[in-house]
Amino acid sequence: MTTIHVRYFAGLREALGPQQTIDLPAGSTVAELRALLLPTSARHAELLAPGRAVRCAVNQVMAEETALVPEVAEVAFFPPVTGG
Amino acid sequence: MTDAPIRTSTTTTTASRVSIQTADFDLSTEVAALRAADGGVGAVATFIGTVRDSSDGHRVSAMELEHYPGMTERAIEAMIDAAQARFDIRAARVVHRVGPLAVGAQIVLVAVTSAHRGQAFGACEFLMDYLKTQAPFWKKESTAAGSHWVDARNSDDAALRRWGIDAANASNPANTSIANNAGKP
């Protein structure tokens, strides 16, 4: 088990709060982490549900759902980006 | 007289390539700094994005921009590295504002210098297409009906794909991997 620092931005930040920590089995993927976050609250279950357009960054680099989460990691979930 | 000022004037300083700021920016000042002391520059291409007064038929009264401090800067630095590798350019600079912005306000500046115009035009467009879909910024618009987060556009993903980069933002292939993983032992 490793403790992962999860951050949220934009609409997800407003609904879920700016951050939370969660214990994650070593060798888990981003998708597995996202699935573990679903039971946190009804809002998590809705907004992080599979099929929702949610982007992810691991240690501040864009990551696919299949990416492994390192033992020491800041993982961020956020909506598709809309800058520029 | 000391030799300190002489050293200063002959040292090539690498100016900051990326600025994320609440303050406005000045095009002339930015371009002058980018061109400074580089006699090889024959072309400067710039792009400025501004806040429109309407969006999808709704009148916009103001905008708020959020970013991911640290990641945003690193992501754009990496985009400039990619532009340097792909185009024959001399320098590039990106300024992006965050926080509250009024209608008409400048949001983003991309400026690129090169020897000839083709590479500068190309790199400027490449950087904007990349930034639109891969830099962590989020726009929240205020209208008479309240405020809402702006939806990403599939057309922006398509714009990046023209450069051979298939990194989806608005579209949603990433979530198919969740479905795929669901059956994993």
Residues 6+ apart with CB under 8 A from B59: B53, B143, B144
Interatomic CA distance for residues A62 and A64, integer angstroms: 7
Domain chopping of chain A, boundaries:
2-78
Interatomic CA distance for residues A81 and B148, integer angstroms: 14
Q: Place B4 in a pLDDT band, splitting at 50, 70 and 90.
A: very low
Interatomic CA distance for residues A41 and A24, integer angstroms: 17
Residue A24 near residue A4, CB atoms below 8 Å = yes
For the cut 60, the answer to whether the pLDDT of residue B7 exceeds it is: no
For the cut 50, the answer to whether the pLDDT of residue B175 exceeds it is: no
Residues 6+ apart with CB under 8 A from B13: none
Q: Which residues of A43-61 are buried (b: 16+ CB within 10 A; e: fewer)?
A: ebeebbebeeebbbbbebe
Question: For the segment B68-107, what is each residue's pLDDT rounded down to a tens digit?
Answer: 999 999 999 999 999 999 999 999 999 999 999 999 999 9
> Distance, in angstroms, between B37 CA and closest chain A CA?
29
Contact residues, chain B, for A27 at CB < 8 Å: none
pLDDT, position B2: 41
pLDDT, position B37: 86
Assess if CATH 3.10.20.30 describes domain A2-78: yes
Interatomic CA distance for residues B79 and B115, integer angstroms: 20
Length of chain A, please?
Answer: 84
* H-helix or E-strand spanning residue B74: helix B71-86
DSSP character at residue B151: P
Question: For the segment B127-150, what is each residue's pLDDT rounded down to a tens digit?
Answer: 999 999 999 999 999 998 899 999
Q: Are strands A2-8 and A19-24 parallel, antiparallel or unpaired?
A: antiparallel
- SS3 of residue B91 by DSSP: strand
Interatomic CA distance for residues A5 and A74, integer angstroms: 5
Six token digits for residue B8: 């200063």
Q: Place B9 in a pLDDT band, splitting at 50, 70 and 90.
A: very low
Q: Which residue has the higher pLDDT, B176 or B154?
A: B154
Mean pLDDT, chain A, integer? 97
For the cut 50, the answer to whether the pLDDT of residue B183 exceeds it is: no
For the cut 60, the answer to whether the pLDDT of residue A45 exceeds it is: yes
DSSP character at residue A65: T
Mean pLDDT, chain B, integer? 87
pLDDT, position B112: 98
pLDDT, position B14: 54
DSSP character at residue B152: P
How many contacts, defined by CB atoms under 8 Å, are there between A and B? 110
**B140 interface with A at CB cutoff 8 Å:** yes
Contact residues, chain B, for A65 at CB < 8 Å: 174-175, 177-178, 181
Length of chain B, please?
Answer: 185
Q: Side chain identity at B154, as an amino acid letter? A: N
pLDDT, position B15: 66
